[in-house]
Structure 1
Amino acid sequence: MITIEICIGSACYVKGSNQAVTILQTLLKDKQWEDKVEIKGSFCMQSCQGGHGLGIKINGRQMLGVGLHNIQEVVEEEVLALLS
């Protein structure tokens, strides 16, 4: 099972983490990955404080530079690599 953690702290929430969850839920449904990938909320990853975008980890690996503009592409690429 691949785990995606998304920061739901106040700063990331303001930057759209709630929208990111919706985007990823749609992606998982469209790709039929619901039984292979789970999405979890997480508290502060300090990603936004460092200017690295939304706080998101995939299987514990911090993803940098992720925002609403590219979250779908970044996650899709990473999940595909992990599934292969």
Structure 2
Amino acid sequence: MVNCIQDGNGITVSVTDEGQGMDELTISKLFTVSSNFGSSTQHGAGIALSMCKDFIEKLDERIWAKNAEPNGAIFFYAIRSKG
């Protein structure tokens, strides 16, 4: 599911999946490139998320992830209003 919230500070976009979720250690390493990331079906995810992080941070904005309850994960990025 994709969701977007606009408030006085800007826009926050979230993408929710219904997978198995991740522990805190995995979440802390999500946005770095590593050959040891995830299962055999998740190869390359670290590269894509690392590229997203680099792009968002170059805009001086924020990207993060957290576990969803009871399953899955939620990925967010926030872009502040300019002006």
- Counting strand residues as a fraction of each chain, which structure ranks higher? 2
TM-score (norm 1): 0.32
Name the larger-Rg structure.
2
TM-score (norm 2): 0.32
